[in-house]
Structure 1
Amino acid sequence: MLRTRVLATAALGLAAALVVPQSAQATSSSPDVPKKVVTAYFADWDVYGRGYYVKDIPVDKLNVIQYAFGVPGYDAATGRASCDPVDPWADYQQVYWGPENTVDGVPDDPSNPDQHLFGNFNQLRKLKAANPHLKVEISLGGWTKSTWFSTLASTPELRKAFVSSCIDTFIKGNLAGGGWPENAGGDGAAAGLFDGIDIDWEYPTQVADGNVNPGPADRHNATLLAAEFRKQLDAYGKTTGKHYLLTAALPAATSSTKYFELKEISKYFDWDNVMTYDFNVASGPKAAHNTLFTPDPRDPNAKNLTWNTAGTVAHYLLNGVPASKIVVGVPFYGQQYLRTGTANHGLYTPFDNTGTDVNSLAPDVAPQPTYHALVDVGGYVDAAGTTGGAGYTAYWNPLAGEPYLFNPAASHELTTGAATVPTVIAFSSPRSIGERTKLIKTLNLRGAMAWEISQDSDSHALINALAPVLQ
């Protein structure tokens, strides 16, 4: 443990010593830009699944919300670029008939011809009005909606048209009408709601979840796309007297420099949201941690010294990204592994996840159960992440700096039928997230990012562990 921590500290120290000083970087001093950041995604589908609403966001613990998602679009027949809400109903059409799910206790009035915004967008507007410190960004793309980024970034004309469409829809707030309520949407309906744009292109040069036309040119085109966003946001900001945020969700480890011109593209962003999670997933060979704080030589990817949070931060620093632009990502969900071995309480043993269902919210069936599911639904662990329940025992891996659960005979209601099998669940806890908080404060990084806020426990245990970043 000591050797691992020393190596991680040395790597970070070397990187910090070599990094370009902040004063030499293009950074904004605008009062519209938070100096420190705790940001969390809020997904449009949260209102369907868990029944988690904007009013439930612990806004006193964060200062930026990233709304997931906006959809980059392209019509191959017409060559038209577009940028639209992913779910107009949840986003700005859903009527809140009663006060129970509203921010201010005031229900919507679809008969009011002056109300043009409903759903999540209206509640976010109310949340901002009550919390002047809060910023809201629209996040574009994501794993399933990055389909057309390669095409949209491929030519100056398409980049210009796409960025213009995004600004028109989300910054100027011009939403499509014609749905129900009949007065929902229209020109300027969401004006002032979004304070900026977050680019979540997963990933340049890669097919990923079905991306169209990926190729080697994507890496540089992504930089050109970021430059176009910055150019148009700044131009529009001159008309409103406001600095609009531009950020991006960027990959961890050496993937960051494989897919992006990391130093060059970061110049256009107010900060980089680094996805330091999903280091190990259910497609891997062994039951291993979803996120690692420091390297563990037993991890399947241990040969890559950046395959952990500390190593990734060092990689970003060594590749010219200033500490002031690095936002460390943390997952509010875990990785579940079934039919593991029993050695080392199942950790780093082969597994078989047959019968799990990515569409299930049930903690015994979901391959990536949320912290809320583990704590408040399944009772597998307490909110502090230290005491197991329901047959699970909580363990701490001092090498990776991560917790995990093990049950030698966990009961599951799988799609293939009931089963009782050894099960490992790697997850994030307040202790492991607290390590990130200390790292951020020690290295004076910009802050932390969480995917995503509805996945936290009812007691907000995980976001509470990040809140000191803002102090």
Structure 2
Amino acid sequence: MKSQNNGVGRRRYLRGAGALTTVALFGNTAEASERGRRGHHHHGRRPGKRIVGYYPSWAGDYTPHDVPYHKLTHLNYAFLETEANGEVKLAVTGDSAPEVLSEFETITHEQHRTSFMLSIADFGSNMSAVAASADARERFARTAVEQLRRYNFDGIDIDWEYPDGSVREDDPENFTLLLEELRGKLDEAGEADGQRYELSMAAAPIPSNIDPLEVGKIADYLDFVNVMNYNFYGSWSSATNFNAPLYAPYEDPTYWQRLLTVNHAMQYWADQPIARDKLVLGTPFYGFAFENVGSENEGLFQPFDGADTKSYDDIRQLKAKSQYEYHWHHDARVPWLYSEEDDVFVTYDDRHSVMEKSRYVRDNDFGGMMCWELSHDPSNTLIGAIHAALRCSHHR
């Protein structure tokens, strides 16, 4: 994910979302008010696998009331942000975030079996500055917990892309210190509130982003890790390929890129000093439509002239058009569409592929599934398929 300054706001291309959105910082100085803590306090690991769904503040017509909570163990609200001094603030599109979070606050009192997590993101250098300072780390943890309590949420998710030393050389070590501080503040608040607050992180699927991390240390602070298994290929690639292949296609001409698979990412994480059941397999509810693609190999592994992000909902509408043919790759375990008439190749995940990935989670003793993001599939088809495949035993 990338961001760049643009006047008072920032125009951010969220590659994981494919959303171009103006994000401004909203400061909230109100103290956390007295809260009637709801009666579904979460104590320790629930049975079954985790099903984690990200919900972005810019979801629009897909409202908090459209979320199928009975099919989720965790709802991750995206995003809050941090200032360079460590203060955690609401990140909003226009002024929608406070209203959306207020809706979620009401829902938390009704949905007793779903954990609500506030995801705090950083796609620039603020998190690096915060992590480098003991004072800023304390302010970060304290204000994160204040926001959590204000909206009656159950945990914090950290989406720092990435604490790999690319901003400051000691980012990986400072990230450990940041999580340690946050875990301490969450435990302190949890003891006072009579519940255990959870802590997770969104993590890269690529070894170069994983290797610098002090995994053995941060594993002690984290309840689970959401591995972002998507964007393996896209508009930046040299040829059409799959957004999130489970395995490498044997005929892939770019042999070195065979590392760019869900299986490689999850097994690489499993080789780190962290419990397998803390590793959650992330999957995209969006894909890419590559343009000006020739018909050889039904558009796969071909040159192209650009690629646009498409939600699963967009892709379902394309699939309904007669000129788009459906294909399934038996090695990669993902589908694609190709239109010779439009010269368009579409890579995406469907019900079949997310169920395959869910079974892979079950067969490999991983901790569950995550999606980015729920509003890309307003029909809730894909989250329903994941739930069916994992058969979460804690649900009604």
TM-score normalised to structure 2 length: 0.83
Counterpart residue type for residue 285 of structure 2: F
* Distance apart, 1:457 and its partner CA: 4.7
The answer for the alignment partner of 1:453 in structure 2 is 374
Q: CA deviation at 1:254?
A: 1.2
**Contact between 1:203 and 1:259, CA under 8 Å: does it hold in 2?**
no
Conserved in 2, the CA contact under 8 Å of 1:306 and 1:315?
A: no
2:329 maps to what in 1?
A: 397
**Which letter does structure 1 place at the counterpart of 2:114?**
L
Answer yes or no: is 1:140 the counterpart of 2:150: no
Partner of 1:289: 242
Aligned partner of 1:91 among 94, 97, 100: 97
Partner of residue 71 from structure 2, selected from 61, 71, 83? 61
385, 394, 407: which one pairs with 2:339? 407
Deviation of residue 447 (structure 1)?
0.7
8 Å Cα contact 1:340-1:424 kept in structure 2 = yes
Q: What is the aligned partner in structure 2 of residue 180 from structure 1?
A: none
Shift of 1:147: 3.5
CA distance in 2, matches of 1:295, 1:237: 43
Gaps of 5+ in 2: 1-41
Counterpart residue number, 2:158: 199
Counterparts in 2 of 1:302 and 1:401: CA distance versus 1, 3 Å = farther
> How far is 1:442 from its partner?
1.5
Change (3 A) 1:220 1:233: same
2:301 aligned residue: 348
Alignment of 1:293-442 (within 5 A): 293-299=246-252, 302-303=255-256, 305-353=258-306, 367-375=308-316, 379-381=317-319, 389-410=321-342, 422-442=343-363
In the TM superposition, 1:21-36 aligns within 5 A as 31-35=43-47, 36=49
State whether structure 2 residue 178 is matched by structure 1 residue 225: yes
Counterpart amino acid of 1:329?
G
**Structure 1's 260 and 275: CA in aligned 2 closer, same or farther, altered over 3 A?**
same
Q: 1:304 to 1:222 in 2, by over 3 A?
A: farther
SS in 2 for 1:409: coil
* Structure 1 pair 140–450 and aligned structure 2 pair: CA distance change class (3 A): same
For residues 452 and 165 of structure 1, the distance between their equivalents in structure 2, rounded to whole angstroms, comes to: 26
Q: SS of the residue aligned with 1:404?
A: strand
The answer to whether residue 251 in structure 2 is matched with residue 245 in structure 1 is no
User: Which residue, 253, 273, 278 being the options, matches 2:231?
Assistant: 278
Whether the 8 Å CA contact 2:79–2:118 is kept in 1: the answer is yes
* Structure 1 pair 427–150 and aligned structure 2 pair: CA distance change class (3 A): same
Pick the structure with greater CA Rg: 1
Taking only the aligned residue pairs, the percentage that are identical comes to 24
Sort the Cα spacing of 1:141 and 1:299 in 2 relative to 1 into closer, same or farther, 3 A.
farther
**1:55 partner amino acid:** H
When the two chains are superposed, the root-mean-square deviation of aligned CA atoms in Å is 1.9
Aligned 8 A contact 2:70 2:114 in 1: no
Which residue pairs with 2:19 in the alignment?
none
Cα 1:430/1:236, change in 2 over 3 Å: same
**Secondary structure at 1:235's aligned position in 2?**
helix
Instruction: Name the structure where strand makes up a greater proportion of residues.
Output: 2
Query: Cα distance, 1:206 vs. partner?
Result: 6.3
Change (3 A) 1:301 1:255: farther
Match of 1:154 in 2: 132
> CA–CA distance in 2 between the matches of 1:135 and 1:334?
27
Residues 1:45 and 1:352: Cα distance change in structure 2 (over 3 Å):
same
Shift of 1:34: 3.3
Secondary structure in 2 aligned to 1:171?
A: helix
CA apart distance, 1:334: 0.4
Answer yes or no: is the 8 Å Cα contact 1:347–1:424 preserved in 2: yes
What per-residue deviation string (whole Å, max 9, x for no partner) do you get for residues 140-166 of structure 1? 1154xx440110001222211221121
8 Å Cα contact 1:301-1:307 kept in structure 2: no
Whether the aligned pair in 1 keeps the contact of 2:82 and 2:122 (CA below 8 Å) is no
Partner SS for 2:78: strand
- Tell me which amino acid in the other structure corresponds to 1:391: Q
C-alpha separation between the residues in 2 aligned to 1:439 and 1:431?
12
For 1:298 and 1:217, locate their aligned partners in 2 and report how far apart those are by CA, in whole Å.
40
Partners of 1:31 and 1:215 in 2: CA distance:
37
Change over 3 Å in CA distance of 1:302–1:159 after alignment to 2: farther
Kept in 2: contact 1:67–1:137 (CA 8 A): yes
Secondary structure of 1:243's aligned partner: coil
Alpha-carbon separation, structure 2, partners of 1:286 and 1:142: 30
Deviation string 1:5-36 (CA, Å, 9 cap, x unpaired) is: xxxxxxxxxxxxxxxxxxxxxxxxx6254343
Q: 1:301 to 1:245 in 2, by over 3 A?
A: farther
The whole-number CA distance in structure 2 between the counterparts of 1:270 and 1:408 is 47
Answer whether contact 1:256 1:262 (CA < 8 A) is retained: no
The residue number in structure 2 matching 1:127 is 107
